Structure 1
């Protein structure tokens, strides 16, 4: 299993950050591996909402079906699955001054023979975590405005 964690400081209130991040289709704007992500059900962005995510990693595309498994004031958890892997994006959101402290945790568990590759892929996932910590604040600023609301 591979785990990556980054702490990101945002100048926007936690409620606005949570509302933005609750729509997982927005990963196209901040996750460097996401090629496309679209909602595949309808209704409110609540636990059980689902997305089809196509990601590219090391030149190969893979499709995962993500489900919002937790949504409360301080946390969003999305779990994506396919036959090769289970990927979890765990976002903890807390007030920090007038802004937000976002703790982004990504975890990927490979299944079957793919499990053997985990130790060799850790560095690549760390690099992707670095890119998320650079791209996510810019995406939030574009969506919410460059100054706090």
Structure 2
């Protein structure tokens, strides 16, 4: 299992930031590894909502189905899964004094089957992905 944490500033008030990040389709804007992300079901963005996310990792594209597991005024939890990995994205929001929002992004990658053996060798790549997200979020949310 690999766990990464990054904290970044979002140039939006907390309410707007939570609404923006709750729609996982926006990963196309703030996650450089995301190739595409499409909502799979209609209706409001609430726990149980699902998305199909195509991501590029180590030169390969893979699909994960993500589900919104928790949505609170200052906290979102998503779980993405395929046959190789289960990813939990835990996003916590706190208001900053200047009206922006501090986002703490925790991601846990739990590899399955034979892929578990590769986890120690993937740490550097997962850290790089987290760094890329931390650099992209402020730019994507400044619009």
Normalised by the length of structure 1, the TM-score is: 0.93
Further displaced range: 15-24 or 94-103? 94-103
Residue by residue over 1:5-50, the C-alpha shift from the partner in whole angstroms, topping out at 9 and shown as x without a partner, is: 0010223210010011010001011111111100000000000000
| In structure 2, distance between residues paired with 1:128 and 1:58 | 10
Moved over 2 A (4+): none
Distance in 2 of aligned mates of 1:85 and 1:128: 15
Cα distance between partner residues in 2 of 1:63 and 1:138: 25
1:92 counterpart = 2:92: yes
Task: Tell me the secondary structure at the aligned position of residue 142 of structure 2.
Answer: helix
Query: Match for residue 58 of structure 1?
Result: 58
Q: Secondary structure at the match of 1:89?
A: strand
Matches within 5 A, 1:68-79: 68-79=68-79
Residues 60-94 of structure 1 show CA distances to partners (whole Å, capped at 9, x for unaligned) of: 11111000000001101110011111011110011
Q: Give the aligned partner of residue 3 of structure 2.
A: 3
- Name structure 2 gaps, 5 residues minimum: none
Task: Write the distance in 2 (CA, Å) between the matches of 1:8 and 1:101.
Answer: 6
Q: How many residues align?
A: 142
2: CA distance between counterparts of 1:22 and 1:10? 14
Secondary structure, counterpart of 1:56 in structure 2: strand
SS at structure 2 position matched to 1:112: coil
- Equivalence for 1:147: none
Partner of 1:116: 117
Question: Are 2:134 and 1:133 equivalent residues in the alignment?
Answer: yes
For structure 1, the 5+ residue unaligned runs are 143-149
